[in-house]
Amino acid sequence: MPGPHVSRVLALYRRILQLHQVLPPDLKALGDQYVKDEFRRHKSVGSDEAQRFLQEWEAYAAMLWQQANESRQNSTEKASFGTALPKEKLNDFRDEQIGQLQELMQEATKPNRQFSITSSTKPTW
């Protein structure tokens, strides 16, 4: 995305990573990595694809900002992030994108294996 898009892209990139601060740690890590990969992957796309890329990520940032605000206001309820992907949008995806989406879904739905807490009656030193 060379040219006049650079400052807009960088501002959006920073905004999304800041918004990810409200996500649970496992989703934040997954989201940050996905954003970094996608922005890197789209560095040299044409103008039309760059516009669509920016529009989609700006919509994501707006949705996440709204959900973060709702989460802060309803602090007694468990936060809910994300939205369903309409089938019409899936029809626009290339096979490579469908594969990436499947990988992302598998990663996002894995049980959290980052921490393993066990109870023991005796010290394990």
Domain that holds residue 40: 3-80
3-state secondary structure 8-19: HHHHHHHHHHHH
The count of other CB atoms within 10 Å of the CB of residue 108 is 13
Asked if 7 and 85 count as a contact pair (C-beta separation under 8 A), the reply is: no
> What is the total count of domains within the chain?
1
Predicted confidence at residue 100, as pLDDT, reads 83
Specify the amino acid at residue 120: S
Q: Which two tokens stand for residue 43?
A: 């560095």
Q: Is residue 124 part of a domain?
A: no
Cα dihedral 65/69/72/77 (nearest 10): -90
Predicted confidence at residue 71, as pLDDT, reads 80
Q: Give the predicted TM-score (pTM) of the model.
A: 0.71
Q: Is residue 24 part of a domain?
A: yes
Q: Is residue 118 part of a domain?
A: no
Predicted confidence at residue 125, as pLDDT, reads 44
Predicted confidence at residue 15, as pLDDT, reads 97
The DSSP secondary-structure symbol of 76 reads T
The DSSP secondary-structure symbol of 86 reads P
Predicted confidence at residue 45, as pLDDT, reads 87
Q: Is residue 96 part of a domain?
A: no
Give which of 69, 62, 102 is closest to 83, Cα–Cα.
Answer: 62
Q: Is residue 91 part of a domain?
A: no
The DSSP secondary-structure symbol of 20 reads G
Q: What is the pLDDT along the chain (125 residues), one digit of tens a residue?
A: 555 668 889 999 999 999 999 988 888 999 999 999 999 998 888 888 889 999 999 999 999 999 988 887 876 667 778 787 888 888 888 888 888 888 888 877 777 655 444 544 545 44
